[in-house]
A and B are shown apart, each in its own frame.
Chain A
């Protein structure tokens, strides 16, 4: 019913996070609406199972709400925080599942093509990243070399350590480290403008 015009009137993530820290449920609902698709997509990518992904999202926002007084909302970084939290909770769940291999396959072993993960939907809310940064990030992601991407994804979505990735890919540890660093560096460069000027 409120339906604010998309850009100017919309509170930034950081303002919403501060309001959440102060106990404002409607701010949490707004953050949820902004990050539902992202947190779900991350959980889905890790877990490959819609029910598990939904459980993960419930857990993530429960934790955001129940630990709200512990956040220093002034320091912001809401998107990074929720991304990391969703990943972390999904990987917890993945590990528990792998401890019961009779129930599920080993999801982290061989990721199926991304296209089968979810039905196509609207892109993430524009307020999450500004459009220039989004384009830069998209270009950097598209420009990752295959070996860089493989190492990054095993680390991020399967929760493997560098050492484990080296074993998995049968490559020297140093090579894996440099793939990860190079890949991350290009992603970091894509964000450069945001970090210099943006979110303070």
Chain B
């Protein structure tokens, strides 16, 4: 357990999100249980936040105001964050152990879903800064944000290494293209061969209306449909990890639709994203 004195040496950097992943995790854990240090962290954050006080302020920016308000309910502004999510999805779907699937006990579905949700939470955790995690609501339905943050930081650190190691562990992955006039949307799919599991990420999609959800469908070589429902795991990010009765070699098309819940046996909504899948032995 970290001592207060050690924690406090890190706080000025911690509140800017500039500690390494391990320090960030340990400090965040300590702040959860130590209101005194949390107050210290708040005070340092407030002190940093005075620095911009002497910046020259711009004149009013009426066009910007319009842009900001128009963007509120739209997709994630800036395609590059979407790219970040896609890369994290890839890295996360990558089997992380070198042993063969046959001899390695597969992680449980719950563990895999957990780690997948964490990848999406990187969106928030990487940017907002560790300091703010102390200011998030904690109700029973929400996951432990500090644990999320820790895992998210670790995930981010692993990203580089995983992508380098990509060639060693073949995993099928592909993107679905938006249908019609839709722009910027991205659905990325990866198959984790080690545990026979499909990971599906959708970013830049507007929130599904109440009572509806985005559904991901495979059309198999036999013309059958298999579906899984995407859940919002971070603002603008929907994801799922599912064991579907289809391997890449069985699959011919992939489609995302918006469906009223519960989804039927076949899609009722129009295709929003779609792609043909070239059957692939691995």
Q: Is the CB of A65 within 8 A of B72?
A: yes
CB within 8 Å: A-B pair count: 192
Q: Is the CB of B57 within 8 A of A54?
A: no
Residue of A57, A63, A123, A155 touching B64 (CB-CB under 8 A):
A57
Of the A-B pairs whose beta carbons lie under 8 Å apart in the complex, a sample of 17, sorted by A's number, is A32-B65, A36-B68, A40-B61, A54-B61, A62-B74, A67-B124, A70-B136, A80-B49, A84-B45, A88-B128, A119-B56, A122-B60, A141-B54, A142-B54, A161-B13, A184-B12, A185-B47
Q: Is the CB of B45 within 8 A of A42?
A: no
Find chain A residues with CB under 8 A from B124 CB: 63, 67, 70
Find chain B residues with CB under 8 A from A69 CB: 137
Q: Does B111 contact A (CB under 8 A)?
A: no
Find chain A residues with CB under 8 A from B45 CB: 77, 80, 84
Pick the 10 closest A-B CB pairs, nearest first.
A66-B235, A121-B59, A83-B49, A188-B47, A41-B55, A80-B49, A37-B57, A187-B47, A118-B58, A72-B137
Category for how many chain A residues contact B: 35 or more
Q: Is the CB of B46 within 8 A of A77?
A: yes
The residues of A with any CB-CB pair to B shorter than 8 Å are: 25, 28-29, 32-33, 36-38, 40-42, 44-45, 54-55, 57-59, 61-63, 65-67, 69-72, 75, 77, 79-81, 83-85, 87-89, 92, 96, 114-115, 117-124, 129, 134, 137-138, 140-142, 152-153, 155-157, 159, 161-162, 180-181, 184-185, 187-188, 190-191, 194-195
Q: Is the CB of B77 within 8 A of A59?
A: yes
Closest to B56 in A: A118
The residues of B with any CB-CB pair to A shorter than 8 Å are: 12-13, 15-18, 42-61, 64-65, 67-69, 71-74, 76-78, 80-81, 124, 127-129, 131-132, 135-137, 142, 235-236
Given A122-B57, A123-B57, A191-B46: A32 touches B68 (CB 8 Å cut-off): yes
Q: Is the CB of B58 within 8 A of A121?
A: yes
Give chain A nearest CB distance to B271 CB in angstroms: 26
Give chain B nearest CB distance to A34 CB in angstroms: 12
Q: Is the CB of A141 within 8 A of B50?
A: yes
User: In the docked arrangement, what's the CA distance between A179 and B45, Å?
Assistant: 17
User: In the docked arrangement, what's the CA distance between A57 and B76, Å?
Assistant: 13
User: In the docked arrangement, what's the CA distance between A69 and B12, Å?
Assistant: 27
User: In the docked arrangement, what's the CA distance between A190 and B80, Å?
Assistant: 39
Residue of B17, B42, B57, B80 touching A38 (CB-CB under 8 A):
B57
Find chain A residues with CB under 8 A from B142 CB: 70
User: In the docked arrangement, what's the CA distance between A44 and B52, Å?
Assistant: 11
Residue of B56, B73, B81 contacting most chain A CB atoms (<10 Å): B56
Q: Is the CB of A137 within 8 A of B58?
A: no
Find chain B residues with CB under 8 A from A42 CB: 52, 55
> Chain A interface mostly helix, strand, loop or mixed?
helix
User: In the docked arrangement, what's the CA distance between A67 and B142, Å?
Assistant: 13
Q: Is the CB of B60 within 8 A of A121?
A: yes
Find chain A residues with CB under 8 A from B132 CB: 81, 84-85
Q: Is the CB of A117 within 8 A of B56?
A: yes
Closest to B48 in A: A156
Residue of B42, B43, B58, B65 contacting most chain A CB atoms (<10 Å): B58
Given A66-B235, A80-B49: A88 touches B129 (CB 8 Å cut-off): yes
User: In the docked arrangement, what's the CA distance between A15 and B45, Å?
Assistant: 21
Find chain B residues with CB under 8 A from A162 CB: 13
Find chain A residues with CB under 8 A from B77 CB: 55, 58-59, 62
Closest to A141 in B: B54
Q: Is the CB of B57 within 8 A of A118?
A: yes
Q: Is the CB of A84 within 8 A of B131?
A: yes
Find chain A residues with CB under 8 A from B42 CB: 77, 80
User: In the docked arrangement, what's the CA distance between A153 and B48, Å?
Assistant: 10
Q: Is the CB of A40 within 8 A of B64?
A: yes
User: In the docked arrangement, what's the CA distance between A129 and B142, Å?
Assistant: 33
Find chain B residues with CB under 8 A from A81 CB: 132, 135
User: In the docked arrangement, what's the CA distance between A156 and B46, Å?
Assistant: 13
Given A28-B72, A36-B65: A184 touches B44 (CB 8 Å cut-off): yes
Given known contacts A41-B52, A114-B55, A188-B47, what 11 new A-B pairs fall within 8 Å (CB)? A29-B69, A37-B58, A37-B60, A62-B76, A67-B124, A67-B128, A72-B135, A80-B49, A84-B15, A88-B129, A118-B57
